[in-house]
Amino acid sequence: MPKRGVARAVLGRPPSSPPSPSSWEWEDTGAALEKIILYPLKSGGQLEVPEAQVTRHGLASTCGGLLRDRMLMAVETGRGEGRGATMLTARRHPSMLLIRVSPAGGGDVRLSAPGMEELAVPMDEATETETETETEVWGGSCRGADLGDAAGEWLREYLFGAESNRSVRLLWHRRGDSTREEHPEGEDDVDPGLRAGDLPLFAGDP
């Protein structure tokens, strides 16, 4: 793969189905790829990685542990009867953009943010349990594994203050296929350019 240029397949309107890498034609544009950036937490800060794989669900990096784009999402629970888990985004909570997620070794992740002690979040318990939390991303239903009380309390303190009684949880979209519903091509209100076969994790408009 050349260091310079872009795949002709990504130029213009997305095709109805993703092209095979073997069919890509590379064209020198005079531009060079300088950085690869993931956003492991929806509406969170960026993580620069030396390399990444392009998957059906977005970019993924195995540098220091598996991290996938928008594999984590903060949600608030208990805000009203029947409301379930409501996603939290930087639209209403801009300080989320300063939360950093990085690999902590052994497949775990580390949370950091200004004024907060770093927190290592173990993924083992979420991997072993079959329980998942139902939530929505811009009207589309999806599920995620709850990463425990420590992660939820860390997010609550950072976003709402140590004295807040609001209930915040950190959800992880586990390895495997996306739990997002397929949608008719061109009918996504947030991103009309999405193809029917595009199934991101917790991605969408911040």
Q: Where are the domains of the chain?
A: 37-172
Residue 180, pLDDT score: 52
Residue 12, pLDDT score: 39
Q: Is the pLDDT of residue 191 over 80?
A: no
Could you give the CA distance from residue 204 to residue 180 in angstroms, rounded to a whole number?
11
Please state the rounded mean pLDDT for residues 147-157: 95
Residue 147, pLDDT score: 92
Residue 144, pLDDT score: 87
The residue type of 8 is: R
pTM of full prediction above 0.85 = no
Residue 6, pLDDT score: 43
Please state the rounded mean pLDDT for residues 186-199: 52
Please state the rounded mean pLDDT for residues 41-46: 95
